[in-house]
Chain A
Amino acid sequence: MNRNELLRVEDLSKSFSGFKALHEVSFDLRERDILGIIGPNGAGKTTLLECLVGLLSVNSGAVFWKSEPLTNSGRKDVMFYLPEDIVPYQEQPASRLTGFFRDIYDLSHERERDVLFRLQLEKVLTRRVGELSRGYRRRVLLALALLAPKPLLLLDEPFDGLDPRQTVEVANLLREESESGRTFVLSIHQLADAARICNRFLLLVEGKVVGCGTMEELQRQGSVESTNLEAIFFALT
């Protein structure tokens, strides 16, 4: 076992009516990692995240948490997954949604306020979730994920709908959270965003892992000298 190993995934496979969405996916995750799952549309990024968190059943494979097998029911104790393109409780104000999370997880008002402040959500607290712009809605959802007191957060396209400034701010926030002990798995299709924030990458194509590791490790795997993630990605796929 690696000293900092947090999560290990072994041979995870998932099929939908005969279509293989994930094929023997294996990788590991270390404490404070920000792992970016990179891949084209339909590569199986969302499926992988939903399988990891237990929202989808798997056909085969195993997940280990600190070298111990992680049951389906035990996953919600250690990880939280924020799906892409959801609009929960759209007829209710944003603050009620964050307040609901605060109450469910028995968090302090201070913690909630801190997250809301860091995501600059003070202006939209009274507005209904369904009436928010895409960027604000995404930040409200990110607030929910950050409020979930889990060591591992899985975020599906966290920068989708954010403008460049907001993207940088959210990336900085995630990095701060990582430095304070949290681990992230981000599904990202924008390679520039991934290169900016992630320290490790998992390249996924048609449900198969084509590369995994740090930028340097990927360079070696793809036999490329460029430090451009896009060039490495194309070399490996």
Chain B
Amino acid sequence: MMRLIYTFLSSAKLAIVLLVIILACCVTGVTVFRGERAWTLIFSTLWFNGILLLLVANVACCFFPRMWGRKLTIVSLGMMLFHLSFVVILGGIVYNSLFYFRGLIRLTEGEVLPSGDPQSYDTIERGRYFDFRRLKGETTLKKMHRDYRVEREDKRAAYEIAVGEGSSRKQGIIYITKSLEHQGFSYFNDREGYSLLVMLYDRAGRVLYGAHIPLQSLRQKDESYLYTTGTKEGPGSLPFPQTPLKPRFALQVAYKPSKLKERGGEAFFTVWPLQKGISSKGEKPLADGKVTVGEKFSAGDYYLAVAEVRYWVGMKVFYEPGKPIVLTSLWAGLAGMVIAFIGRVRRGKRHDKPSAISRSGTDN
């Protein structure tokens, strides 16, 4: 049985068959299905990744035994380096899959979250052996800078952050082409949005409650943006005040930034009875209207106001110990190709009287 498997795996024809199958999958994944569908139907599936794995097993069983005992030349050295890099890349990917961590953390300016607490992250993916104790200390967003420039280049947005604890705490600015590295973790900027400090007052103007509420940015048909509570799918309302306090109504807040004044603009409030919210179409809201940022809006027994506009940011927090192995192997593989190529050209030159090339006709 083992022999059979080995014979199957060590066939050079199998390599071509597998390469053709992978090619066909790739073509399908950019024509018939695209984007997300290609990802779910092809690239993320067990069978497709199984084929990739089979290819590497094929390299291991076919290429190396064939090269074994062959005279070491520039060409064979280069080819070995190239095919070896293939196997090492897979090793790096497998190793990484056991230990990696990928989280998306979202913070409003000034906010501090414990890095090691899974609750701090919107989403988390991790390898079986990842240890949360690696994530020490806190993650802080000090400030989001808009229209950030590095020399002449406009980086659009940059986040001033601090991570870690005690003496190993590290601060830095990250933007789209620059991440922050700290004890094996990388912090990448991902996306940002507005966060409103929404205050609740009683009729006498006393503060009852206040909370930072992050807004979604939704692209409208006319290419403009609507900044509002809700989800990526559309506007929505939320119970207000938020847990753990007892909510009194459902609230939708939207924001229209001022073109003239950074962090200024208009706030739009819509208040519904609890449980109804924006979803119950046709239902009349209890109150509905707009005020400038800082002004009070009258909503029945209460006043509402946007006291302050801040930014929130989403950051990717990655720990990927296998990545350096993969990235280094990529260069090793490329170097292998170059070495083999040089070797072949030199071998060709040695008998490079025109007639010799023509007659050799074999593997040049």
Chain A bound to chain B: no
Chain A contacts to B: CB under 8 angstroms: none
Interface of B toward A, CB cutoff 8 Å: none
